[in-house]
Structure 1
Amino acid sequence: MNAPRWPYPLLRLKPGKEGLISKRHPWVFSGALARPSESTLVRLADDSGQVLGVGTASPANPLAARIFRFEDAPLDEAFFRSRFESALRLRRDLGLWSPEGGCRWVFGEGDGLPGLVVDRYAQALVLQVGTAGLEGLRDTWWPILFELGKREGITAFVERSQSGRKEEGLEPVNRLLKGSLGGPVTVHEGPAKLSVDLLRGQKTGFFLDQRAHRLQVGAHAEGCRVLNTFGYTGGFSIHAGLGGASQVATLDISAPALDQAERDWVANGLDPAVHVRMEGDAFELMRQLEPGGWDRVIVDPPAFAKQRKDVDKAFKAYKDVFRLGARATAPGGFLWVFSCSQHLDRMRFQEAVWTALLETGREARVLAHLGQPADHPYALNHPEGFYLKGLWLRVE
């Protein structure tokens, strides 16, 4: 895919539609444009032709343009190098950059690179490319990312570009770019060693955004019966086991994920007799659980609202599964509930939790509001970047 040379074509807004850009919001929707873009790289301009920013564009996506810089300047090698280095410096300052750990290096708009996600898993790097504009610029940014990755000790480079590609006229990509993989990689997270399948796992292989919450569960698991619903490969479970839980159940619909959870349990030196595998639909299996039978319960479902029109239906699904989680929690027990749906805002999420508790006839105290970690930053001018919401509750 060939990118247009600088200066990129002008993409004009309708009169009076420059308000969000003037507030440095990086998204422009199709209704704000005078006409659809014919180029994947553009200079966004007001009705008079004054350039307000530079970014990528798509004629088919309702999210028609994403702004990378609020100035009239190209997306060149110097730009990408500066953004990559700045994002890396932040993770290093946060103490999250480790040759044995997992860390998100680039988080799209939060790092000034809309449509791009880059995750580090020990000696491997996984990237997601979500826009046609970034594809057109691959020859510009990819050599820099590869160079910096090698400098940081990365030996394997994987691409898992799937989400959002259809709206950009792009095919999904799942491939090894450079280096080799002998199977899943192992990342160290506190006391835990966790396996990540970079080519077949969900998202980029694992859910790095739950790191702090897994550690939190582990710190409060001693002597407890712990239920980990939607448990995937058992990250929460491993931490609970290492924290001294008396029994841990991992519930998921995926047999391969549960297979990996069981292997990781043993690899962490934990007694297999303490771990219970629950395979099947979470809603159905949770309905069969003994009420009040678990001291610690984690309910971390997938994104039920992937589009704004799905919010009302998703609200009901979240309410139902949170109700089942609360029902399973012993009096005085801890319940962690989460939503990773960007379109379900914090207030609606909390309403779903509150309604769920009312329906179970239980009361709860909020111990903490939870969210995405510091390596998943979001810009104040882009509140849509805040997606992970959670509550840590003591259920009475």
Structure 2
Amino acid sequence: MKPYPILRLKPGKDTLLSKRHPWVFSGALAEAPAGPLVRLADASGNVLAVGTASATNPLAVRIFRFEDAPLDAAFFRERLQAAIGLRATLGLDGPEAGCRWVFGEGDLLPGLVVDRYANALVLQVGTAGLEALREAWWPELQSLAKERGITVFVERSQSGRKEEGLEVVNRLLKGSLGGPVAIREGAATLSVDLLKGQKTGFFLDQREHRLALGRVSRDCRVLNAFGYTGGFSIHAGLGGAAEVATLDISAPALDQAERDWARNGLEPARHTRLQGDAFELMRELEPEGWDRVVVDPPAFAKQRKDVDKAFKAYKDVFRLGARATARGGMLWCFSCSQHMDRARFQEAVWTALLEAGREAQVLAHLGQPADHPYALDHPEGFYLKGLWLRVL
């Protein structure tokens, strides 16, 4: 295979690579990348790493190997096998499972996300470099998937595509879909719409927290705000909740929540759908009326410049959640914004409780599960923050 062109760093910038961080920004480069695949070199031309590149994205280079070696089929097969093997070791993979097979930089495959939903895989391809390398990694992924009973392949490549000069993709690659795919999560059966659902169809990163809610919901009134298709709600219902309300702005999502509620053998009378803007509807809730409250809003800070505005939005909705939580009840607050760090997130929760006139005990600091690992060299991979509180 012909070597990729050399892309030089500015003098003194090669020290960045000694930290093994997989990202290089355009300001560290002596010139703009000429193509999607590069061999990254110091100012003297000594090759230090190999990766994908973009002339239009400020995040100019994503490093795959800290050595001068090709990104070929053997390389991808080894990385993919390691990622899938980890999920098997964790007990998360299986024919009815919903789990993340590949999490980009966390699995040393920058820009690639692969989620398994039972017999289906959903891919997200975020860079022009990965597109250029598709003939190297795609057959290997298909082969490994087929060995594990996968028959359906979907691509939902959206995040970051435009910054790489690529079109957004939402397509069935192989196999057939007759509707949503069903996965098992603990005692729950959950439906996932692979072509129309959020992200890759579902929020797999909340699995452990949904299971935890189910364990502490018996005889409780449970509010699931920003509830999407009701994953938290169904676990609460299966855990013996007396009443569950799912609040979301999307009618199709709430329709699916109601179908899954019935599919899991739960009494329709125990579930209430609340459709509309969460900020508006939560203001109308009975103060201290709910024993368990989950507030899991979307990413209000999609860019670093949005953090201050997002802080206010998180604070406001967490305040409404605290206001709705009964004395001695439990409140879960989450942020999936990468740019909202842990300290700033906790400040938003603390400020919200102060404004609500409530005190709270921290039962646990929460984050993403083990199938969403992040590299110590890449702290940006830690994105999901949560606090599990007992409200006094």
Query: Could you say whether these structures have the same fold, taking a TM-score greater than 0.5 normalized by the shorter chain as the test?
Result: yes
Instruction: For residue 288 of structure 1, report the CA deviation from its aligned partner.
Output: 0.6
Counterpart in the other structure of 1:167: 163
Work out the percentage of aligned pairs sharing the same amino acid.
Answer: 80
Local SS of the residue matching 1:64? strand
8 Å CA contact 1:303, 1:341 repeated in 2: yes
Q: In 2, distance between residues paired with 1:93 and 1:395?
A: 37
Counterpart in the other structure of 2:284: 288
Counterpart in the other structure of 1:138: 134
8 Å CA contact 1:6, 1:74 repeated in 2: no
Counterpart in the other structure of 2:382: 386
Q: Which of these residues, 266, 269, 278, is aligned with residue 273 of structure 1?
A: 269
Letter in 1 for 2:290: W
- Write out per-residue CA displacement over residues 293-343 of structure 1, whole angstroms, 9 at most, x where no aligned residue: 000000000000000000000001000000000000000000000000000
Local SS of the residue matching 1:391? strand
- Write out per-residue CA displacement over residues 262-297 of structure 1, whole angstroms, 9 at most, x where no aligned residue: 000000000000000000000000011111000000
4+ runs of 1 displaced by more than 2 Å?
Answer: none
Instruction: For residue 162 of structure 1, report the CA deviation from its aligned partner.
Output: 0.7
Q: In 2, distance between residues paired with 1:273 and 1:286?
A: 21
TM-score, L = length of structure 2: 0.99
**Residues 20-169 of structure 1 mapped to structure 2, 5 A cutoff:** 20-169=16-165
Q: Which of these residues, 290, 311, 315, is aligned with residue 319 of structure 1?
A: 315
TM-score, L = length of structure 1: 0.98
Matched, 1:211 2:207: yes
Letter in 2 for 1:66: R
Letter in 1 for 2:20: R
Local SS of the residue matching 2:316? helix
Q: In 2, distance between residues paired with 1:92 and 1:192?
A: 20
Instruction: For residue 138 of structure 1, report the CA deviation from its aligned partner.
Output: 0.6
- Write out per-residue CA displacement over residues 351-391 of structure 1, whole angstroms, 9 at most, x where no aligned residue: 00000000011000000000000000000000000000000
| Structure 2 gap segments, 5+ residues each | none
- Write out per-residue CA displacement over residues 58-98 of structure 1, whole angstroms, 9 at most, x where no aligned residue: 00000001000100001001100000000011111101111
Local SS of the residue matching 2:156? strand
Instruction: For residue 161 of structure 1, report the CA deviation from its aligned partner.
Output: 0.3
Letter in 2 for 1:160: R
Q: In 1, distance between residues paired with 2:2 and 2:68?
A: 10
Q: In 1, distance between residues paired with 2:287 and 2:299?
A: 26
Q: Which of these residues, 220, 226, 234, is aligned with residue 222 of structure 2?
A: 226
Matched, 1:190 2:163: no
**Residues 230-245 of structure 1 mapped to structure 2, 5 A cutoff:** 230-245=226-241
Letter in 2 for 1:168: E
Instruction: For residue 19 of structure 1, report the CA deviation from its aligned partner.
Output: 2.4
Matched, 1:179 2:179: no
Local SS of the residue matching 2:228? coil
Q: Which moved more, 1:230-239 or 1:13-22?
A: 13-22
8 Å CA contact 1:287, 1:324 repeated in 2: yes
Instruction: For residue 174 of structure 1, report the CA deviation from its aligned partner.
Output: 0.4
Instruction: For residue 6 of structure 1, report the CA deviation from its aligned partner.
Output: 3.0
Q: In 1, distance between residues paired with 2:14 and 2:360?
A: 45
Q: In 2, distance between residues paired with 1:378 and 1:208?
A: 15
Q: In 1, distance between residues paired with 2:39 and 2:341?
A: 32
CA RMSD of aligned residues (A): 0.6
Work out the number of aligned pairs and report it.
Answer: 392
Counterpart in the other structure of 1:261: 257
Instruction: For residue 225 of structure 1, report the CA deviation from its aligned partner.
Output: 0.1
| Structure 1 gap segments, 5+ residues each | none
Q: In 2, distance between residues paired with 1:278 and 1:21?
A: 50
Q: In 2, distance between residues paired with 1:31 and 1:285?
A: 45
